Amino acid sequence: MPSLLTILHILQFIILLKLIQIPLYLSSNEGCENLFTCGNITNIGFPFWGANRPKECGYPLLNLTCIKNISYITINDVEYQVLEANPDLQTLRITREDSFQEGLCPPKHVSTTLDTDLFVYGPNYNNLTLFYGCPSSITFPSPSGQFQCHSNGYSDDIVYTWFGPNIGPLAFPCQDNMTVPVSLSLFDISNFAKIQSAIKDGFVVRWIAGIEDCMKCQNSGGFCGYDWISKQTTCYCRDQSCSNFIPVSNTPSGMSKYFC
């Protein structure tokens, strides 16, 4: 039988634990002043989180990881390496991780797509579409090209390329296709090495998530974050007195924003 005194001690301990939980929770919000830095990618803040930025500091899908000084982000299930980041212009230059590892003849073809609530494409790129397993009688409209992928598991080794704005409603009777944005400086769309290097050079995306709200928050001295439960941009203030947030706007969507 434990003595009454022991039980009291345990209760006291539990109460103490509850008390120290509160400051721990608040201090995790303050981590949003930390900027993500990894290799030559530096000073990335909101709307991203990851590494030394707690998840409350960014949008759920904007998770950066740092492995051996290389930064990665996953967008619509495709993993990208971040080659360059410019927080002032809100741009990232990203390249598909699979094109590094498997070249142009990967067994699985996943097109690059962006989550358009989070990113827009930068200027000076166009869509390169690669068609796999086409009937040998096929002809493509210009500007098209072709190269070979030996034994890549399709009915035909020839891969057809098409470089231009979206093909639109056209559909070609091929087994598979993959679209990747590449720089407009790609001219020779029949040259395997040039296509590969254009894909490796990646493309620029601009992040658009929560920018306006974040500017208001920063101007009021706060650190931008994201409330994963109410699903909106939020603002963390430097000291506890700022917990009396002031509602600044009632947006047409009915979401009120609070700033320091």
Ligand X SMILES: *[C@@H]1O[C@H](CO)[C@@H](O)[C@H](O)[C@H]1NC(C)=O
Strands (E) located in the chain: 36-38, 41-44, 64-67, 70-75, 78-86, 91-96, 119-121, 125-132, 144-148, 158-164, 176-183, 203-207, 223-227, 232-236, 246-250, 256-259
Residue from 74, 90, 146, 220 touching ligand X (CB under 6 A): that is: 74
Residue from 2, 22, 69, 136 touching ligand X (CB under 6 A): that is: 69
Residues in 95-114 that interact with ligand X by CB under 6 A: 113
Distance between first and last Cα of the chain: 53
Contact status: 170 vs ligand X (CB under 6 A): yes
Residue whose pair of structure tokens reads 């890549």 in the numeric block: 152
Contact status: 136 vs ligand X (CB under 6 A): no
Q: What are the residues whose beta carbons fall under 8 Å from the beta carbon of 240, sequence distance 6 or more?
A: 26
Contact status: 220 vs ligand X (CB under 6 A): no
Q: How many CB atoms lie within 10 A of CB 5?
A: 8
Contact status: 172 vs ligand X (CB under 6 A): yes
Number of residues forming the site for ligand X (CB under 6 A): 21
State the minimum distance, in angstroms, from the CB of residue 200 to ligand X: 9
Residue 28's alpha-carbon distances to 3, 22, 182, in angstroms, are 38, 10, 39
State the minimum distance, in angstroms, from the CB of residue 253 to ligand X: 24
Contact status: 20 vs ligand X (CB under 6 A): no
Per-residue contact flags (x/-) with ligand X for residues 230 to 249, judged by CB under 6 A:
--------------------
Residues lying near ligand X in the complex (CB under 6 A) = 39-40, 63, 65, 68-69, 72, 74, 83-84, 113, 126-127, 165-167, 170-172, 177, 179
